Structures are given as structure tokens and as C-alpha cells.
Copies of this chain bind each other. A is one copy, B any other.
């Protein structure tokens, strides 16, 4: 029996996150898609997401898998689902995978992207997708701080309370800060002019880990703490209480398969 792997985009603004919640708390992305799968397959289908994004977090390349209970042609699943889904959730592709495939447990890594608006005059269209800081950060200092996070570390002090995880060791493979210049582009495309973009790739991420990292990097960028304070956070010496970055600036870009598997 095959498993179907979906690649999914969503604007997280109007959802309470990926994971299905008890009724009455708002709609999750998982629930919205499972409701459509039920319409297509005639019975409840459980969808397994690779990354359980928080309320407000967006995705360009979320992956999820399910076991189809009817032999609908895989080539038509994406279009059939998109015809039923709300416009802010889109199935980019649906492919058949081997029966041992599982979107979450087969994943070997993820790429997240965080966007910050440094310009004081923010854009009326980007507010849904960027942390509207409206202040210029010391990006060089942030890059210096980022170095302390590369590689394998115990990230328990970058993990929010409430995670059932026991093993906090994760590997950050890359952590890059860039300021792409779109000012030459037609600003009519509602693009921010010079956003600060933080790209982070790792073999797995703890609960709110990327948002902890970004919040603390921003504190470095604001000169509230020093770059080397990032090492202190890792060992639990918290130089200053720093909030996590808001969810709306975060996008799950891609989930990687193949290679060594580590869940979450």
C-alpha cells in the first residue's frame, strides 16, 4: 500500500497552527486539510505533518503524508484538494511514496526562514509575513552571535516549556543572515525594500527553537546583549530574559528527506 506525500503551502495568519486542536479553539491547517481528504476519500484520513508549525507561522514547503483508502489517481489529488481547500492553503504536489514513508519520521532536516522588517516605514502588505521591528539592527554582531549556535548542541534552553522531548541535542547545519536588496525591483510587488532574512537549516528543531534563536539574535542586533552571550544561553546562563520572536515572521521553507533520519 502506498503512502501519499503532500507538499503544502499556507499563509498561517488565519490558523491556530498546523496541529488539530479540540473543537472551538479555531481551525488548524491539519484539520482544514483532513476535512478535505474526508470529502475526497469518504472517510476520516489522518494526516501526518513533518513540522508542527505554531499558530501564525507560514509554510512554503510543509510536507505531510497519509494512507489513501481509495485508489484515486495520485496525479489528480493535488488539483482535487485545491478545488476544495480555502485559498490560503495550497497543495503544491502529491506523490506516491513507499509504504514505510512518514512525513515526520522520515524527515532528515528542515529549513526555516525568518523575516524582519528594519525600515521604519513598514509596508502595508508585508505585515503578515515579517516581524515589523522598524529599527536597523547590527547584523554583523548578529552573524558573530550565530557562530556559537552552529553545529551540534544541547538546545534545551532554546526550547519552550511543554515539549515532551527528552533528547535536546540538535545540529544546526547553517545559520545565515542576509539583507537582499529589492529596491531595484518594482516596489509595486509589495516587497519590503531591505528585509533582514535569517535562514536556518538543521536536522531537527525543538518547540519554538527557531523563534528563541531569532529573539536572542535580535537582542544582539539591538546591542542589548553581546554576541558571546549566545554561548551563555546554551549552557543555561541566561544573561537577560529575551522574548521569542513573533510567529508571523517565520516560514517553514522545506523539509528534507533522505540521509540520516531524526524526528522533530
Contact = CB atoms under 8 A, between A and B. Distances in A.
A63 to B, nearest CB: 15
Nearest to A91: B121
Contacts of A253: 188
The size class of the interface chain A forms with chain B is 20 to 34
A147 interface: no
A123 B87 CA distance: 8
Interface string A235-264: 000000000000000010100000000000
B127 A87 contact: yes
Contacts of A90: 121-124
Contact residues of A: prevailing secondary structure: mixed
Contacts of A129: 125, 190
Nearest to A125: B11
Given A87-B132, A132-B87, A124 B10 contact: yes
A27 B128 CA distance: 20
Contacts of A187: 60
Interface hub of A79, A87, A189, A191 (most chain B Cβ within 10 A): A189
Interface string A102-136: 00000000000100000011111101010010000
Minimum-distance CB pairs A-B, first 6: A87-B127, A9-B124, A90-B124, A11-B124, A10-B124, A88-B124
Interface of A: 9-11, 58, 60, 78-79, 82, 87-92, 113, 120-125, 127, 129, 132, 187-191, 251, 253
Given A11-B124, A125-B129, 6 more contacts: A9-B124, A10-B124, A79-B120, A82-B121, A88-B124, A88-B125
